[in-house]
Amino acid sequence: MLFAAFAAASTVALALSHEAQEFIAISKELEPVQCEKRNLRREILLAETERRDADAKALRSRFATLNRDPVTARREKRLAELEPRLERSSDPEDLEAISRASREAFYRCE
């Protein structure tokens, strides 16, 4: 049973285009940063709503620091380069697999 599940998962991974595999791999590398950014956006909005200007300013500063990281910036740039190619992909599995990986990452972040 376990072998069958592993074989099915590896078959799906092999069916993806190289660009989709790269997109998913980079997204997994960026997951901790993206999760932190998502949480910071929420906290900034909450601080602004509650009129805690000093907190909002500190949170925005932390967000800007994350954006200035050169490694993160390079990875995000590569994702931006891959995205148009994937939208035009002839492989129907590509977008579905990327969407599934994105949803899983979103729920892991919570």
Report the amino acid identity of residue 81: E
Number of domains composing the chain: 1
Over residues 10-47, the pLDDT tens digits come to 444 557 999 999 999 999 999 999 999 999 999 999 99
Q: What is the pLDDT of residue 89?
A: 82
Report residue 32 as tokens. Answer: 């901790």
Q: What is the pLDDT of residue 13?
A: 52
pTM: 0.75
* Residue entry with tokens 């998502």: 38
Examine the pLDDT at 102 and tell me if it is beyond 50.
yes
Q: Is 85 exposed, middle or buried (0-12, 13-18, 19+ CB in 10 A)?
A: middle
Examine the pLDDT at 110 and tell me if it is beyond 80.
no
Over residues 68-80, the pLDDT tens digits come to 999 999 999 999 9
Report residue 51 as tokens. Answer: 């009129």
Contacts of 86 (CB under 8 A, 6+ apart): 17, 19, 20, 23, 94, 95, 98
Q: Which domain holds residue 45?
A: 2-109
What percentage of residues in the chain have a pLDDT greater than 70?
A: 87
Q: What is the pLDDT of residue 54?
A: 94
Contacts of 26 (CB under 8 A, 6+ apart): 75, 78, 79, 82
> Is there a contact between 77 and 84 (Cβ–Cβ < 8 Å)?
no
d(CA 46, CA 59) in angstroms, rounded, equals 11
Q: What is the pLDDT of residue 11?
A: 45
Q: Which helix (H) or strand (E) holds 8?
A: helix 2-15
